[in-house]
A = this chain, B = another copy of it.
Amino acid sequence: MSIKKFINKKSKAYQAWLSYEKLSDNYLNKNEELLSNISVYGKTNLSASIKEELKRALPKFLAADFKLNFKDRYQNKILIAAETEVKEIAAGSKEISSILNNVEFGELDEEGYLIKYFKEQDLLLLTAASDQGLLYGVFALLREIQQENDLLELDLLSNPKNNLRMLNHWDNLDGSIERGYAGKSIFYKDNQLVNDLKRIRDYARMLASIGINALSINNVNVSYQETRLIDDKIEMVITIADILRDYGITTYLSANYASPMQLSSIDTADPLDEKVRLWWKEKTAEIYDEIPDFGGFVVKADSEGRPGPFTYGRSHADGANMMAEALEPHGGLLIWRCFVYNCQQDWRDKETDRARAAYDNFKDLDGQFKENVLLQIKNGPMDFQVREPITPLFGAMPETNQVLELQVTQEYTGQQKDLCYLIPQWKKVTDFDTYAEGENTPVKRIVDGSTYNQKNTGFAAVVNVGNDQNWTGHHLAQANLYGYGRLAWNPDLSAVKITEEWIKITFGQDQEVMESLLRMLLYSWSIYEDYTSPLGIGWMVNPGHHYGVNVNGYEYSRWGTYHRADHEGIGVDRSVATGTGYAGQYFKENAEKYETIENCPDELLLFFHHVPYTHELDSGKTVIQHIYDSHFRGVAAVKELQGHWEKLEEKVDSEIFENVNKRLKMQLDNAVEWRDQVNTYFHRISGIDDKFDRKIY
């Protein structure tokens, strides 16, 4: 029995950061004339989406009964037109012609936009090289307006830093979502498309508003039904692609590496087998016949039980190139995940180190991949833990396209019950200096293609969206989705800037709301880390579903995930000198930093070293005292989160208030359980008392 969900599309929770609230009287007085006189050029579907969005937004900004009429002549206050059209208008207008020299068309990339106010002409120009750029520009302009920024000061040229700005859906056709914490799929139900296509369209709007341009629409673990998406179920893909296309989003599919074996009579998936190669070529051509702008495939191969080229004694380059070759004539991309490791490890084996796996499996293949192959690499070497080092593979393959994979869905970070705003974590990742080309080669300059002059690079992330009313389960988890998009567009944006932007366009201008939410969001990752696993050691979660504490949950398992705590100390020795050698996978500066206990930053100490509980951290505390202190502090901080939120009851939408309020209660329960189990475990095993004699059970 399935309970039919009632979705109220007018609720603020559903509208997310696109609810377009009425502007303040003050701001309106100043800008009403400007905002009431807009002309939009363009005849593409994207232009239609732009107009639709403006028609949705402006009446709400200005007043309930306002009706937007687009003027088709340039004399209006706001002109929205692509470069070609601006130049056409200029030909017949001295006024427009007079500004042309001051418009930096040459600096606009394919997807970039320019928003600029010309005082003399009293004209706000939004232009771009393409309608797609215009679409992003319109959402940027609406964002500026909702924040009540001064439009007359606008001079904003923005190009995306990354060509690929992708989200991965781990949705299955039966409607379930692997690692989904916000209800069921918004795409599928009972192996069919959902009835509510309008919701998919609203989702596309949200994504376009933050600059997402690529979406893979099914789980990377591709099962029987999902494999059929490139076969007799392709109608489903066509329908979704049609919707996404209107918002500049390219559709990708996760492909089953063994598809020919399921879908044809071929009994192998050997990448060097001619029958297999031909099958993929023909199959791919069929897809492009139906969806000419199809993006390509995402592939998880030879990973956690998925089929792959290893079965046939072939390399990952063989496997990826074979599929890339089929996509090449159509301009498609082949995105190959590097999450390949031995998941049948013996806990007794201290030589094998899962952290080494991506580097060990891929580094030597540099230069062997085709131009349209992109390697998608998780931010950390393990699996989206609350704290991990950065994967050393970034920057280590100069001749290979690299994509950074993040996880917006909060698998190990509270599952959208606990508040854990991840932008600060991601900033650490993107700003991490790999030293690949000497100092100042951060990850973001690898995956934006600038270091090695590549174009098929960028960001990908597993999304946190389901069919809950508010899309993300925890309302504040919307900020992770928003922030991911903004960061993928421009990783140089600061966490504070992104967060302030999201708060303003979601909750408005109130100063107390701003201050409380800024504090809640920006500290939440650190709070979550405080009450969960300490000093970079990770795991300690319940096996399988990964929510809640279980200190030994992964200690005697086959997953390569150990803390090695004994009565004297804890941590995994990954040094070159005495450990697994993982530290040596980094470029020299980082390798030296991680190699020794002295140089290794505390926050990753237990990831790289096994140390006694009595080891003194940089903070002056011992490891054991740090464990106790951080866990008591973490719970106290969750109570403070509750305090902050409760004070906002009168100031935020009641549905959102209740949603967050309930989840903060769950978070407190979770934090208390983490605190008590972790403290008790380490008190029992170390025999060392808390300096402050607090309650440890």
A interface list, Cβ under 8 A from B: 347-348, 549-552, 556, 565-568, 676-677, 680, 683-687, 697
Contact = CB atoms under 8 A, between A and B. Distances in A.
B348 A556 contact: no
Contact of A556 (B550, B568, B686): B550
Contact of A685 (B347, B556, B680, B684): B684
A72 B677 CA distance: 76
Nearest to A566: B684
Contacts of A686: 567
Contact of A552 (B348, B551, B676, B697): B551
Contacts of A568: 687
Contacts of A551: 552, 556
Contacts of A348: 676, 680, 697
Contacts of A683: 566
B567 A687 contact: yes
A680 B567 CA distance: 11
Q: Tell me the number of copies of this protein.
A: 2
A688 to B, nearest CB: 9
A685 B567 contact: yes
A146 to B, nearest CB: 47
A685 B568 CA distance: 8
B687 A556 contact: no
A687 B552 contact: no
Given A550-B552, A556-B677, A566-B684, 19 more contacts: A347-B697, A348-B680, A549-B556, A550-B556, A551-B552, A551-B556, A552-B552, A556-B680, A565-B684, A566-B683, A566-B685, A566-B687, A567-B567, A567-B684, A567-B685, A567-B686, A568-B687, A684-B685, A685-B685
25 contacts: A347-B697, A348-B676, A348-B680, A348-B697, A549-B556, A550-B552, A550-B556, A551-B552, A551-B556, A552-B552, A556-B677, A556-B680, A565-B684, A566-B683, A566-B684, A566-B685, A566-B687, A567-B567, A567-B684, A567-B685, A567-B686, A567-B687, A568-B687, A684-B685, A685-B685
A606 to B, nearest CB: 15
**Top 10 A-B pairs ranked by shortest CB distance?**
A566-B684, A567-B687, A348-B697, A552-B552, A567-B567, A556-B677, A685-B685, A567-B685, A567-B684, A348-B676
A11 to B, nearest CB: 36
Nearest to A548: B556
Contacts of A567: 567, 684-687
A580 B685 CA distance: 24
Nearest to A568: B687
A240 to B, nearest CB: 31
